[in-house]
Amino acid sequence: MALDIQYDMIIGRDILSILGIDISCKDETVTWDHVTLLMKDYHLDNKIPKPTCGAELKSILTARDEPRAMQEATNRAIKILDSTYKKANLRKVTDEASSLRNDPEKEQLYNLLSEFEELFDGTLETGKQTSRT
């Protein structure tokens, strides 16, 4: 199965550095081993779709082009950043825990979470730790 990839090669800065490859966006050149080549003109390559508006550009640069691990990491970060940081209703959390098989397990979880209720008060800590007695 052939992949529809629009790049000849994708390499990172670490390899570029090791190989001594210099990329100059200002001059639109790539230099390697004293040989300088002009970069391909994006607008002359008919194989690459050209966006005509913002929505079209967004459709070209969608998450489907990212590896699954990158999509998952991005989604995790968005979820964290979008969090409201309000006090957790521990009873509701344990009652809705579908992975627990029965009410005694849910009650055990509730009791455990209740012991550390200050961790679920909806605030972010400053990182200062105090000893518990």
- What is the pLDDT confidence band of residue 89, given thresholds at 50, 70 and 90? very high
pLDDT higher than 90, residue 114: yes
Answer yes or no: is pLDDT of 110 > 90.
yes
Q: Averaged over 21-30, what is the pLDDT?
A: 91
Q: Please tell me the least confidently modeled range out of 7-11, 73-77, 96-100.
A: 7-11
- What pLDDT, on a 0 to 100 scale, did the predictor assign at position 31? 94
Return the pLDDT at 78.
Answer: 79
Question: What average pLDDT does range 24-37 have in this prediction?
Answer: 91
pLDDT reading at 1 higher than 50:
no
Q: For the chain, what is the HEC assignment?
A: CCCCCCCCCCCCHHHHHHHCCEEECCCCEEEECCEEEECCCHHHCCCCCCCCCHHHHHHHCCHHHCCHHHHHHHHHHHHHHCCCCCCCCHHHHHHCCCCCCCHHHHHHHHHHHHHCHHHHCCCCCCCCCCCCC
Q: Which residue has the higher pLDDT, 26 or 50?
A: 26
- Percent of the chain having pLDDT more than 90? 29
